[in-house]
Amino acid sequence: MDSPRNILRTIKAAKYILVPLHLRPDGDSVGSVLGCYHFLRGLGKKVVLVSADPIPESFEFLTGVKRVRIGDPAKLDLSRFDLLLFLDHAETGRLSRSETFSLPSRMVVVNIDHHVTNANFGDLNYVDPASPSTAEILFDLLRRWKARITPTIADCLLTGIYTDTGGFLYSSTIPSTFTKTSQLLRLGADREKVVENSFRSWPPKTLAIWSLILANSRRSGRLLYSYLPLKEIQRLKIKLDELSPARSFATNNLLLAMKGIKAAAMFTEEGHRLIRVSLRSKAGFNVANIAKDMGGGGHVNAAAFDHQGSLKETISKTVKLLQRVLA
């Protein structure tokens, strides 16, 4: 990894910084980006936040969320920026859905992340796969930089940590996670607000999504999977920002939580022959390699990929791969 000192020096030298959220932004993406935004503004930097997808309603309580521009980053004039700061991106392809998008060769790229499949694509990289969240990494960096961590920043970072550990349920949670959470609370993070908005303020349509997921669930040995057909998503008039957090919660807390289950998979038909596959597993079972081989990425126990093909074909192929891991 590059040194925190060099990364801070690069940030301070930049005048105009672009910070994109990854596709289907989750709590770690939103929390890390907003926490970093407040830090950068404190340095007097001009910052643009952009997301190709809408921000889930559950994170609208975070200060600064309205600063995020919703639109394809590939359509921005990137030549205006002298620094592109990636937070929680396993790869550059998670920035935009444009197949022709590429980073300008003269743009400085800083890559801060915790995905095991991250290939250190930046000019400067700070990637720690052992960390449960990018927010936890950013907290470490801010302290090393002797930055003032305000209650606003603390809220953002706690949201990233809390959501990416599933409320500390996931096996990725480590002792330092609790230490840093305690420190953030002392710095003014509002635990009740973070918990209430992250996992206890689901919109009404969530019940319909969960009902469909449970109705379509299938067991195959130690694997439990479910699927969401496009026609059902359209019938229920569910938007992506409503669907993404609801299915993630269901995969982790309903499917994977069943007794005897060691891995769970969620197949979502997001478009014609476009299937989003989310994989989750318990300790001792690696699903990251499956996602990587299929063109995606993630963590040992939480990974995902997009697949071109029919829903039936994608399920059949993925289930076979998962059975090998569980054998």
Q: Do residues 158 and 181 lie in contact, with contact meaning Cβ atoms separated by under 8 Å?
A: yes
The pLDDT score that the predictor gives to residue 262 is 97
Token reading at 70: 């919703």
pLDDT in tens, 199-217: 999 988 999 999 999 999 9
- What is the per-residue DSSP string for 110-155? EEEE--TT----SSEEEE-TTSS-HHHHHHHHHHHTT----HHHHH
The pLDDT score that the predictor gives to residue 104 is 80
Which residue intervals of the chain bear CATH 3.10.310.30?
205-326
Q: Do residues 31 and 159 lie in contact, with contact meaning Cβ atoms separated by under 8 Å?
A: yes
C-alpha to C-alpha distance for 299 and 201, rounded to whole angstroms: 27
C-alpha to C-alpha distance for 117 and 129, rounded to whole angstroms: 8
Q: For the residues 63-72, what does the mean pLDDT come to?
A: 97
pLDDT in tens, 19-40: 999 999 999 999 999 999 999 9
C-alpha to C-alpha distance for 203 and 264, rounded to whole angstroms: 24
Q: What is the dihedral of CA 144, 148, 151, 154, to 10 degrees?
A: -20
Architecture field, domain 4-199? Alpha-Beta Complex (3.90)
The pLDDT score that the predictor gives to residue 282 is 94
Q: For the residues 264-292, what does the mean pLDDT come to?
A: 95
The pLDDT score that the predictor gives to residue 103 is 82
CA 101 to chain centre: 20
C-alpha to C-alpha distance for 246 and 275, rounded to whole angstroms: 17
Q: 205-326 — its CATH code?
A: 3.10.310.30
Token reading at 182: 């305690």
Q: Of 41, 241, 251, 36, whose CA–CA distance to 159 is shortest? A: 36
% pLDDT > 90, the chain = 88
Angle, alpha carbons 217-225-222 (nearest 5°):
110
Which residue intervals of the chain bear CATH 3.90.1640.10?
4-199
Q: For the residues 150-173, what does the mean pLDDT come to?
A: 96
**Beta strands 124-127; 108-113: pairing state:** parallel
